[in-house]
Structures are given as structure tokens and as C-alpha cells.
Structure 1
């Protein structure tokens, strides 16, 4: 049966360009591209039946979008707004829940709100409380650890270290240096069961200790490669030995700037004497309680998560060999850790913490009865 005659569709140049971009766009929704093709085919003179055949839809669909376009042009091709289910929780209730979470404690004496206690106090469901908390980034049960530095030279040291990371000196190598001490060779009392479908690897909760090692590491901030050395202890003598290893590994024409923490072995008279004989070494100390400023700690976290966590070793020799094999593999394709936060941004963050701390100290905690 032939298609009924309808008024032809006539596009302006601008409309045609928009619809062609919709029809070609791979990132747009499929429904938008189909509707654009329908109108473009109609503009080309095709009948409703022919368009349905070309696009792969029913005549009713073609007629619907032709009528919508005739009435509202391109805006008519958008989905009409849907009413949806009315909101069960008002903005005022959400605000009250957020305020209660931030400024009060449960009446039952718990340290922090749970979804159950907050839902009971607010007269909401647990799922609603959970959605509101996620929307506002609230995690009442979580606690992050932090500590303010008491170093009187905190500001100068932060500017010094961050300056090395973000604007390193020419003809020099910046190395973040530290020791990861007391790495234990632990062997499980039973073999570790492998990963299976729907089941993670399983290890016995108990283990046997077979000794420890200390890993000295110097992370090249620019390239991400590391110089490492194992020692049974981490005294000044071992630290000097590691400095000598660095001295041999790095070309003599480069100055060496080492970022270090304030561990006592880094500041002994013997270390000072060694440095006087090796003037290309320049030590830069992080402020006290500020290990987060030393980028090698980030590399230690990679070592722990990707190699040491959950591993088993029957001797210190086996542990050291396993660590060294992983380090060698890391150095074949090292990945630097890029420092992006300026010293001023760090000071602003700490000032915000101090403001919160002062406010918390001044305001006593209140308990919420839920009424």
C-alpha cells in the first residue's frame, strides 16, 4: 500500500548541519542519531515508508518524529521531560540530616553515626541516609590520621623541598632518600590458595618469622628509577655506605640533592665528615612529622602493595632476592611521581585544618537524641 502524501520537510542550512553532526556523531546517544537520520531522509524527499525501511523503524515512528519536528523543529527531537516519582525527602530534611551528621553525636554513646542510627533519628530509610551521605561526601565512621609539624623551620623546609620537586636545579639530580626498616620475611603456616572464579586468594592468618631486612632507597624524582641497597641494620655506617653507592651510580658531573627525613643516623658527625669529602652532595631535610613530603615514601607504598603485601618468604635471603627482582623490573620501565601542590597551597590546606581544629576545640560535642 503506498504511503500517504504528506507535506515535505524543508531544512535550513543550519538545521541540516546540526542533524548531520548528530547522525555522524559516535559519542551521541543512538536515539538522537536515528531521529536525525529520519528528518534528513524526509528532507531528501523520501516517503515515510521508504524512510522507515532505510532507518530500520516503523512508519509510526517516522510519522511521530516528523510531526514533532514540524511543530518544534530541532527542539522537538529531544525527549519530552518526564514527571517521575515525586521526591519523598525535602531539601529541609536533607539539610537537617547533614547538620546532624556534622554537628552532633548519637544519643546511644556511639563514637559516630551509622546509617541505622542516623535513619532512626531522622525518620528516613537507611538507603536514603546512605545516598545523602554519598552525595555530600560524608563518612562519619572513617578517620584519617594526621599530625601537625612542630618544626620551627617548617615553612622554609617545605619551600625548599617543594622547590626541588617543582623546579629542580640544572646539572643536578634530585633524589628522595629513606630507609624502609624491619621488612619481615614471613612464611605462612599453610600454602596460599590461588585465586578462583568468585573466590579471592586465601592465606592462613598465622605465620612464621624468618628475620628482617632494611631497604635503603633513593628515588630519582625526574625519572622514577631507584637506587637500592639491603642492610641488616640502619645505622650511620650503613647510611654512609649507601651514600657511597649513590656516589658510584650517578655520573660525576652531576650535583646531588638528597631529600631526607630527620632520622638521627642522617646527622651524625661521621656523616658530616663524609659529606665534607664529597661536596657534590647537598642534603635537604623535611620538617619533623612530615614524611608525606618525601616522594620515596610513595614508592615504598608501591613496593608494599604490589610485592610485599600477602607474600611469603622462608628466609631473609629469599625475601631480598624477591624484592630485588621486583626493583629490577620496576627500573626497566620506571614511572615518576609528579609533585603538583605548591608550597603556598600546602600552607593554605594546613591553615584550614588549624581553623577546624580551633573550632573543634572551642565547641563541645553535643549528643543527638533523635527527637
Structure 2
């Protein structure tokens, strides 16, 4: 005669617990394991036996017993996963701090920056450990960036003036970013370019033949992204004056014209000043010295360089100019404005932070 098994304690849930369990079941983002455990507890709370719940949910009886017991002992917290056993942590917080401090405050004896290999040798850790620590704290000793702070005494006023035109342009006026991309070289490779093939990138000889240069004068319309362009073989005030005349011809006569440009000498010659006096609708706004990043046309020049000039092959200046004109025409068919988002205060605060870091650097 078989003896009955031990009685298991009844399982009941409060209204609050039931609301949480049913919420876990309904929520799409709930993990499947947690949803299943919630179903087990709710089924047991209805008075069903372990075997009945096992059959209804299609899980092993031991699984039902486990989560029934965990809920009785720990409540809702018992339905989470327990910490799993594993190899004890070998890298301590002190080890991590040592790598970070060494990366930020020291340099290796025979190099300008650390590598994972040199840091591993200096700390006694593995390269993979060093790499994981650097990734966790976004450290990349192999990378560097350049910057230059403007020493223009009117830097603040000029930044506010130019950024004000970007963010709050005047009515019945056109804001144009103007600059010259000079010394654009027509370069022909010394040997034919080998086209790209599956698994093999395009290949070109490292040396080239110079065929001459040209200069592109460009005015980027801030509102629409449209560009007025003009090519000249020389880069003087005379060519800049011709470009201004072209801009004057293409901009509707009823609009004021605000030009954002740099402090290049050809923009300030007596001849240019006389032309501006004769065309009073033109207003010049100069960017601070060493602050070309403030002129949006530089962003457009980067597009031209990256997409057309960098890998272009031209056997003559005429061929180069044809390609530039074609690219400019294609751009103006579907112009895309570059949207300025930074306020003048945000820019000045960032520059101030750089200045503070430099003054406190100890160098």
C-alpha cells in the first residue's frame, strides 16, 4: 500500500501580486521565461495540483515545483534568475583604475601613445583585458584630433553675428556662405586605375601627373542649399569681383544679400570696397580668423572633395572643370541645405571649456 506524499503548503496571491503577474503576461517586452513563471504561479493560485499545472502548461513537474517554492519563499522577487556560479572575478577595481590612470597620465618610454600590447606589458594584464577596459571607458590612445583656437579680438562678436544669420535670418534677404576652393589640381595617374572586383578594392598608383590647377568660387544659399559657382584659373581680387557680379545678377533685385566669408586679403581690397559701395544691398559678415568651421560652404566643399575630386582622374584642367560644373549642376537640381543647430552661447561655452582645459594643463 503506497503512502501519500507530503502535503505541500497552499499558494495564494494578493490582489497586488496578481496585478503584477498578469501585467507581466500581457506586456510584449516581458521575457518568455518570466511570463511562463507567472503563469505557473497563477495556475497554482487557482488551486490546481503540480501535475495539473504541468499538463496544462506543458512543462516538467519539477519546473512547477521550483517556481511554486520560490514564490512561496520570496514572493515576486523569487521569480527572477538567481546569480549563477562561475569563475571568481580576477580583475579588481584597483586594476581597472590603474589602467585608466596610466592611460590618461603617462606615456610609454619609446612611443607617443599606448597600445594594448604595451599597456599589457606594463600592467601585467592580457591585451584582451586592456582592450575591454578601454572600450568600457571610451579610451582610444591611437586616435587624436586637431583643433585651433581663434585669437581674433572680435571673436565673440563675429560668432554671434554669423550664427545669428544662420538661426534667425533677416526678412527679404538672402544669406550666402562664400569662399574659394583654390589650387584644385587636375591629376592623372601614372598608370591606369584598376577597377574594383569581388574581394579586391579599386587600385590606383600612388604617383600622379599634374596637369594644372583651377579655383572654384562658391556661394551656398543657407536656406535652400543651392550653390552659385564660378571657375577661374587665378585667385585674385579681380576674379572675386567677377564672382560678386555673378551673384548680383543671379539674386533677385528686391532682396538684400548677406555674405558670410573669411578674412582673405582679396575680400578687402580697395577695388572690392568700391564695388560694395556701388552695390549697397550687399552686406559682408566676416568669420573670426582661424574659424573656417563657422562657414557652411566649407561643408559643401567637403562633399565635392569626397564625392568627386578625391578619386577623380583628369588629364587636363578643362576636363577637371567640366566635371566640377557637372557636379554643381547636379547638386542644384536637388539641393540639400546644411542645417545649423548650435547657438552662439553653446559655441562660446565650448570654446571657454577648451581654454580652461589648456590653462589648467600645466604646459
TM-score by length of 2: 0.83
CA contact (8 A) 1:11 1:43 kept: no
Residue 216 of structure 1 aligns with which residue? 217
CA pair 63-236 structure 1, distance change in 2 beyond 3 A: farther
Q: Secondary structure in 2 aligned to 1:192? A: coil
Given candidates 86, 96, 99, the residue that maps to 1:97 is 99
Distance 1:275 1:221 in 2: 21
User: Any unmatched runs of 5+ in structure 1?
Assistant: 1-5, 364-371
Is 1:49 paired with 2:49?
A: no
CA pair 176-37 structure 1, distance change in 2 beyond 3 A: farther
Q: Secondary structure in 1 aligned to 2:360? A: helix
CA pair 104-70 structure 1, distance change in 2 beyond 3 A: same
Residue 135 of structure 1 aligns with which residue? 136
How many Å apart are 1:137 and its aligned residue?
2.7
CA pair 261-61 structure 1, distance change in 2 beyond 3 A: farther
How many Å apart are 1:125 and its aligned residue?
1.7
CA pair 19-148 structure 1, distance change in 2 beyond 3 A: closer
Residue 300 of structure 1 aligns with which residue? 301
Quick one: higher RCO (CA 8 Å, sep 6+), 1 or 2? 1
CA contact (8 A) 2:183 2:214 kept: yes
User: Any unmatched runs of 5+ in structure 2?
Assistant: 1-7
How many Å apart are 1:171 and its aligned residue?
1.9
Residue 283 of structure 1 aligns with which residue? 284
TM-score by length of 1: 0.81
Q: Secondary structure in 2 aligned to 1:340? A: coil
Residues paired across the two proteins, number: 349
CA contact (8 A) 1:42 1:51 kept: no
How many Å apart are 1:60 and its aligned residue?
6.8
CA contact (8 A) 1:42 1:48 kept: no
Distance 2:143 2:199 in 1: 28
Higher mean C-alpha displacement, 33-42 vs 282-291: 33-42
Counterparts of residues 198-347 of structure 1 (less than 5 Å): 198-347=199-348
**1:157-213 Cα deviation digits (max 9, x unpaired):** 111111111222222221111111111111222332233333222111122222211
CA contact (8 A) 2:186 2:210 kept: yes
Residue 19 of structure 2 aligns with which residue? 14
CA pair 96-172 structure 1, distance change in 2 beyond 3 A: same
Q: Secondary structure in 2 aligned to 1:106? A: coil
Distance 1:242 1:79 in 2: 72
C-alpha RMSD of matched pairs (Å): 3.0
Distance 1:323 1:42 in 2: 76
Q: Secondary structure in 2 aligned to 1:105? A: coil
Is 1:169 paired with 2:170?
A: yes
Residue 5 of structure 2 aligns with which residue? none
CA pair 59-359 structure 1, distance change in 2 beyond 3 A: same
Counterparts of residues 57-76 of structure 1 (less than 5 Å): 75-76=77-78
